[in-house]
Amino acid sequence: MEYYNYLKSLHLIFVITWFAGLFYIVRLFVYQIEANEMPSPEKEILQKQYKIMTYRLWYIITWPSAVLATIFALSLLHLNPAFLEMPWMQVKLGFVFLLFLYHFKCHKIYTELQNNKVNYTSNFMRLWNEGATIILFAVVFLVILKNAINWIYGVVGIILFSVLIMLGFKFYKRIRTKKSE
């Protein structure tokens, strides 16, 4: 147990870098999709640069962080298996499962964009970026409060915050559209 806090610290560090990678990769997806609509040669220049940036972010930061966060989490659970019986941990693991689904979907989108397949709009990607935020809020509230019920208040709060962000985005888009006319 003397190494428990070191493992916990490493787990937290790699969870943070994993989320940072997920937040930024989706932002890069937005830029890649918008670059696809630009005229040549700007389109080709930007697409090439964004492909390099997403490749480096995805394979040098995001994937390794996900793997290391998982390894350290499993190590922590191995050292203290009683956590698995706690309701808050079971709910947290449900959100971790959703996080992996989100990650794998981002990988699919990454692969499509690397192959010049644009199947989503930049607006969809902006909304998609909120998924990781909601998962992050839920997990943090669960871990801090250690209560399988109280995390709901935090998640409801972030959903309301996300709705406000979306409304602000729609308002900004409307203003931007009027200025370009």
Binding residues: 11, 92
Angle between helices 42-56 and 87-114 (to 10 degrees): 140
**Binding residue ranges for heme:** 11, 92
DSSP-assigned letters across all residues of 98-144: HHHHHHHHHHHHHHHHHTT---S-HHHHHHHHHHHHHHHHHHHHHHH
Please choose, from the candidates 135, 131, 64, the residue with its C-alpha nearest in 3D space to the C-alpha of residue 93. 135
Query: Cα–Cα distance between 90 and 94 in angstroms, integer?
Result: 6
